[in-house]
Structure 1
Amino acid sequence: MSQALPAKRLLSLDIFRGATVAAMILVNNPGDWGHIYPPLEHSVWNGCTPTDLIFPSFLFIVGVSIVYAMESKKETPANHTKMILSALRRALILIIISLVTQLIFHPGFEHLRFPGVLQRIGVVFFICSVLYIKTSQKTRDWLFGILLIGYYIMMCFVPVPGFGHANLEPETNIGAWVDRLVFTENHLWSQSRTWDPEGLLGTLPAIATGLFGIRVGSWLKGKQHDDGTKVSWLFIYGTAAAVAGLAWGLFFPINKALWTSSFVLYTGGLATMGLAFCYWLIDVQGYKRFSGIFIPFGINAITAYVLSGYIPHYLYKITFHTASGEKNIYQLAFEPYFSPVNASLAAAVALVMLLWVIMWVLYRKKIIIKV
């Protein structure tokens, strides 16, 4: 659905979202998966690379955005049912987009992956929306703690059927067992079939990431404090959360694939500081010189992300006959002119630039494509 661009938006939030989406597209679309700079790859297991920060930052932004989109409407109880149904519709559309995309790229239901990035975004958005509409901030704070501590207990103390003691290994942790039980191995991540990085149990702490964003969004949007106080406390809050995440990580390792509780605190803290800096620089100080680079992605974030899957898929299917055989665009435009790792990066950057042009056209026409 298309609609006109709203007159009033939080510019720093759009820019922070846009930068996150641009980074997401960059790391998801290297020209050659065999040649990638280490910071542009996910951690093999425990640990956190810059790439590991992207998805939690987006879910954090989902939480912040819920506050800005729903605060005024939720004050009227009569609106609640309509708001919840709208959130459910948007969540279902995200899930359907992901499943349909898979079927287009790889026809057949036999190995259709049920969990996924868009699925997790949809579920987190819907549950966090309901919690924001129907509960107080105090209740949400309690739920935040319960989710993180409860997940820690499940992962570290609940025995795994068929494997014995609780553990945090990829294939034998309780989350992987639940995913195989619920989805079966045929419908999990294609590179594993025994576990999934967007699995069912890991969605619980992912919801906590969304609640983290709601807490920050409520503070940022509140009128009780001046901008300087808001920014100062956001930096303090973010720093405290990141340090707490590092401390918890000493015995519940920071791990993106498991979305551990320490990962929630660490990435949420960094995202809070990132948004606070953007808010101070752009909305408080009024420094907007380079804002146009990221705003087009921020305005149509989901559209950009979905297109980033379709465009390279079909673009690299185009081949040209050369003296040395059939070659695709990547092999012709990038491989001959760069080292393998730089060719891979250049192709990813080129895709980001191509998508930026498309998003810029939509932005200039003041069009938002909403699910």
Structure 2
Amino acid sequence: MSSSTPLSQRLTSLDVFRGMAIAGMILANTPGSWSHVYPPLLHAEWNGFTPTDLVFPAFLFIAGVAMAFSLSKYTQENKPTAKVYGRILRRCALLFALGVLLNGLSFLLGIHSNLRILGVLQRISLAYFFAAIAVLNLKRRNLWILSGAILLAYWAAMMLIPVPGFGAGDLTPEGNVAGYIDRLVVGTQWMYKQGQFDPEGLFSTLPAIVTVLTGYFAGDLLRNKSVTSDTSMDLVLGGLSSLMLGHLWGIWFPVNKQLWTSSYVLVATGWSLLLLAACYELIEVRKIRRWGLPFKVMGLNAIFLFVASGLLVRLLYVAKVGEGEEAPSLYTWIYQTLFAPWAGDLNGSLLFAIANLLLWWLVLYAFYRKGWFLKI
């Protein structure tokens, strides 16, 4: 039921974990009505942590785990060439462009009033790029030092740098340092809803780099240790330690997804480690794999699912059923006609999201059967 040699092949458990994350994203992002959503499927309003707050950092963590395998061939003796750096830059630039494309479509369709530059895919792109550069150029010990330094420096900046009109240590949406720097560098006209704060802003991407690096540390552990329950337990102990440290730090620097606070990095990493440990133990160690197939199907085409589902939702929002200003969008009409009447507002809203998820799963299962895996 276990192997005495380190794991070198593709981690099926990581594909399953990625599929769980993308499934959580679909459920959280596509309720039938935003007025009727179960609390666990909502982000914390500001400070705090809900299951939905784990989805985004889980993607970054997973990217870091995969990085430990994909970049393992490059060492101090076998240094990466300019071609390797170019490949990483190309991949990250394409990911960034896809995010801008989705934002641009929202702007052109009139869903949003401005063209937002940053977003989820853009943050993944930037965080992955800088983490990869660090991994390729620093020894493991120095990566740990860099990670700690970023989290401490971000904490110090958020608490000690004064914002005009608000002072130092103000962690409100309008008064925090991250938002202030983004307003200066990016400009409110390019920020989320032209507001004073962007939840995927430029400055708060710094601690997100550490989220990728924590995944890299986990992947490096898996790559170098035997496939046994002891390795799973190492992940569990790391997860519990990260959770405790994160919540302790949260006393002084609150756990906040939108600010991507240092305490949030540790809490999200803790839960990611525990979920990865569970998937690893069941799939790699105990060889219990059948349960993971539905998630694996989605995990192998996660970027495609993110982009394609985002495009479909935008089109459903702008398509109208009927005429006049009061005509509902096709998205709302489907919810109100097919789900809410028999399941109720709240359950109907959840079932709408589940139906959307099942629809995409069928599409991706067809891709899986044909061997179509779209990569960047």
> With structure 1 as the length reference, what TM-score do the two structures score?
0.92
Q: Which runs of 5+ in 2 are unaligned?
A: 1-7
Q: Which residue of structure 2 lines up, in the alignment, with residue 297 of structure 1?
A: 298
Moved over 6 A (4+): 324-327
- In the other structure, the counterpart of 2:197 is 195
| Other structure's SS at 2:213 match | helix
Residue in 2 that maps onto 1:277: 278
**How many positions carry a matched residue from both structures?**
362
Q: What is the aligned partner in structure 2 of residue 3 from structure 1?
A: none
Q: Distance between the aligned counterparts of 1:113 and 1:159, measured in 2?
A: 26
Q: 1:314 to 1:74 in 2, by over 3 A?
A: farther
Indicate the residue corresponding to 1:77 in structure 2: 78
Using the size of structure 2 for normalisation, the TM-score is: 0.91
Distance 1:200 1:237, change over 3 A: same
Aligned to 1:117: 120
Return closer, same or farther for 1:110/1:52 CA change in 2, 3 Å cut-off.
closer
What SS is found at the alignment partner of 1:105?
Answer: helix
SS in 2 for 1:336: helix
Please show how residues 39-118 of structure 1 align to structure 2 within 5 Å: 39-73=40-74, 77=78, 79-107=80-108, 111-118=114-121
Q: Distance in 2 between matches of 1:149 and 1:312?
A: 39
- Quote the offset at 1:169 in angstroms: 0.9
Which of these residues, 196, 204, 207, is aligned with residue 205 of structure 1?
207
C-alpha separation between the residues in 2 aligned to 1:206 and 1:345? Answer: 30
Q: Which residue of 2 aligns with 1:349?
A: 354
CA deviation profile, 1:26-45 (whole Å, cap 9, x unmatched) = 10111111111111001011
Deviations 1:243-301 (A, max 9, x none): 00010011111000011111111110111111011101111000012121101111011
Which residue of 2 is the match for residue 13 of structure 1? 14
Which of 343, 349, 365 is the matching residue for 1:338? 343
Structure 1: where are the runs of 5+ without partners? 1-6
Asked if the contact 1:60/1:212 (under 8 Å) is kept, the reply is yes
Q: Distance in 2 between matches of 1:305 and 1:76?
A: 38
1:84–1:342 distance in 2 versus 1, CA, 3 Å? same
Aligned partner (choices 159, 164, 169) of residue 156 of structure 1 = 159
* Deviation for aligned residue 1:343: 1.6
Cα–Cα, structure 1 residues 309 and 150, in superposed 2: closer, same or farther, change >3 Å? same
Contact 1:15 1:295 in 2 (8 A): yes
TM-superposed deviation, 1:317: 4.7
Q: Distance in 2 between matches of 1:117 and 1:320?
A: 30
> Matches of 2:314 and 2:347 in 1, distance apart?
20
**Percent identity of the aligned residues?**
38
SS at match of 2:373: strand
The answer to whether the 8 A contact 1:188-1:195 is kept is yes
> Which residues of 2 match residues 301-312 of structure 1 at below 5 A?
301-312=302-313
CA RMSD of aligned residues (A): 2.2
Q: 1:215 maps to what in 2?
A: 217
1:366 pairs with 354, 358, 371, which one? 371
Shift of 1:74: 5.2
Distance 2:343 2:21 in 1: 26
CA distance in 2, matches of 1:366, 1:317: 33
Residues 297 and 304, structure 1, Cα contact 8 Å, conserved in 2? yes
Contact 2:227/2:284, CA 8 A, preserved across alignment: no
Is contact 1:316-1:330 (8 Å) kept? Answer: no
The aligned counterpart of 1:249 is 250
Deviations 1:134-164 (A, max 9, x none): 2111111000100110001000111113322
Structure 1 CA distance for aligned equivalents of residues 81 and 370 of structure 2: 32
